[in-house]
Amino acid sequence: MKREYIPERSGSINNFLGDKLQAVFDHLKIRLSIRSKITIPYLILAMLVAFAAIVTAYKVMLENIDTRFNNQLYEARLIASRQMVNEEQQMLEALRLIANTTGISQAIVGQDPTTLRSLSVRIAINNQVEFVQFLDMQGQIILSLQHKSGGLLEEYGSSTGGEAIQRDWPFVQAALEGKSDAYGNKFSGYATAPWGDYFYIDGPVLDDSGSQIGVIIIGKSVETLALQIRTKTLGQVTLYDLSGNTIYSTLPVSVAALPEADVKTILANQETSSLRRNGGDRKMQFEGLTYSELLGPWQIRSRDDLGVMGVALAQNKLVSASLPIRVAIITLASLSLFFIIIVGTNLAKLITTPIIDLVSASKQVASGNLEIKVEPRSNDEISLLGTNFNQMVTSLDKSHKDLLGAYDSTLLGWCKALELRDNETEGHTLRVTELTVDLARAYGLGEDEIIYIRRGALLHDIGKVGIPDGILRKPGPLNEEEWKIMRQHPQMAYDMLKSIEYLKPALDIPYSHHEHWDGSGYPNDLKGKEIPLAARLFSIVDSWDALTSNRPYRKAMSVLETQKTISSEKGTKFDPELVDFFMMFISEKAASIQP
């Protein structure tokens, strides 16, 4: 039965007005194009707004609000400083987590980089740390972890061994020597290394007796640091070293270095003032925007200065006007806004509701529902589009069913042709297909999966078309060379079907039904649950039908003998759990199976 897709309607006044407006159009038999429905009302509205804008423009004056801009710039600089503190605290927390993780100290003593990586990489990911390094007390590298540039969040490269250049950095030397200061035994610093400019925090690792056995260094690139601070401040962040050289800037233009004298002035007066530099002086201009920058110290928790941090905002001019003009603007804007909302909301609903119906219906068609229908709501082009859409979906549904029927008929033809060529008992393919489908359904698999299981069962031996007749139809046992060729038929099936998009989901059975639970099968030596579920189910059914059917070289076994044979291969050839389930299932069908 075909279903009609009718979105819910609310009972609001807007819906009422929209329906009434559509009723007027229908009564007058006026067929307006979508363009007309949108253009005519908004043309009038645009003329009103334009007239109001012209009147207002003559009466509004611009005034400079540099004081307010300075306050915004100062606030952004404070937020940047606080964010730097937060970033350092987050890195300290990551350092403590790694240092206090059970097994870290033992892995350092044992020089075990594998364990160190396993224990520390998740902490590094969770805390967005880009660099982690473990040193022994001689400054030798045990393990280095570094986030891959441009990689996924969890992608870290690693290296082991070697002498660390970091041990010559003052803040690393302090940790190796077990020093402490007023802020504890953790030290911070900025350094340039072959892998880039990074901000680091390091600290000692102690064993269970409290003796220092190594040092952990964690780091975050200056680029990441600046971008994170920019996210919090909404300003452009630039970091300079103590010589005034630009380390990194989020500005999309090249930022000139600071004069060294300015750096000294900023750091000397950091408790009482900051230095503002205008964009024209610094040439910080981009796409018509000129930036002003407020400069202050770039400090770490020990209050040591690493350099200078600048936060830049685009200079702006705001419009200000006298009180009467403001009242006029507010009144006119309010009236315009009121009419725009009332007219625009109802007009938009009138126009877009059938479009939304079509969009929603098309999504369901895209997800596979070809029984969907849309209800025409008007007498314009969209209504015609809806009617055409319904006809298209009906045709598509019929074509889809016809195509699937043709495909399945083709599969049956393939199977019949293969049975005529092979020495299989007539009807083997259809029997195992029917039994496999029943078993899968009883096992609780969904109908979407069962469709592909059915096709896979029909094609389970399709690869045998590539096996020579001398081997395929040989009445006696095959020799080793012949078996090697025979065992190629699952791979032949895969190579034959993999490029057919329609059959890709059905490949599990043709490709893997000769895999064994203990890994002794072929072609891929799959083991246990590495074997797809469909193939594990089918292999039991395939053996059952083979054993209970007469063959040229033997008579069919009884049901009891077959049950014993299959049960004896639990855990070797077959999935033990599925064998037990199959035995319960087959007991209900035993009367319908001919021995």
Strands, E, within 41-153: which ranges? 61-63, 131-136, 141-147
Contact 91, 181 (CB under 8 A): no
Distance CA 344, CA 352 (A): 11
The predicted-structure confidence for 62-113, as pLDDT tens digits, reads as follows 444 566 767 777 787 788 888 888 888 888 999 999 989 999 989 998 999 9
Contact 92, 219 (CB under 8 A): no
Strands, E, within 321-434: which ranges? none
DSSP lists the bridge partners of residue 299 as 305
Other beta carbons within 10 Å of 202: 25
Distance CA 325, CA 61 (A): 10
Please calculate the CA angle 334-341-355 and round it to the nearest 5 degrees.
160
Distance CA 223, CA 356 (A): 44
Contact 147, 156 (CB under 8 A): yes
Supply the pLDDT for residue 528. 93
Distance CA 28, CA 299 (A): 75
> Is 0.95 topped by the overall pTM?
no
**Residue 493: C-alpha distances to residues 193, 325, 506, 508, 516 (Å):** 55, 82, 11, 10, 18
Residue with tokens 């690869």: 463
The predicted-structure confidence for 388-412, as pLDDT tens digits, reads as follows 767 776 776 666 555 656 666 666 6
Contact 310, 294 (CB under 8 A): yes
Give the residues of the chain that fall short of pLDDT 70.
1-47, 49-67, 69, 278-288, 302, 315-330, 332-334, 336-341, 343-352, 355, 358-359, 365-371, 377-383, 386, 389, 393, 396-426, 551-553, 590-595
Give the long-range contacts of residues 590-594, CB within 8 A, separation 24 or more: 590/559, 593/548, 593/559, 594/548
Supply the pLDDT for residue 372. 73
Distance CA 87, CA 230 (A): 12
In sequence order, what are the residues at sequence separation of 6 or more whose Cβ sits closer than 8 angstroms to the Cβ of residue 456? 506, 507, 508, 509, 510, 534, 538
Contact 308, 296 (CB under 8 A): yes
Give the long-range contacts of residues 98-101, CB within 8 A, separation 24 or more: 98/123, 98/124, 98/132, 98/216, 98/218, 99/203, 99/204, 99/205, 99/206, 99/216
DSSP lists the bridge partners of residue 242 as none
Distance CA 360, CA 59 (A): 49
Taking each helix axis from N to C terminus, what angle separates 66-99 and 222-233, rounded to the nearest 10 degrees?
130
The predicted-structure confidence for 578-593, as pLDDT tens digits, reads as follows 999 999 998 877 655 4
Contact 164, 147 (CB under 8 A): no
Contact 541, 562 (CB under 8 A): no
All domains of the chain, ordered by start, with CATH?
Answer: 13-60+323-382 (no CATH), 64-320 (3.30.450.20), 422-592 (1.10.3210.10)
Supply the pLDDT for residue 516. 95
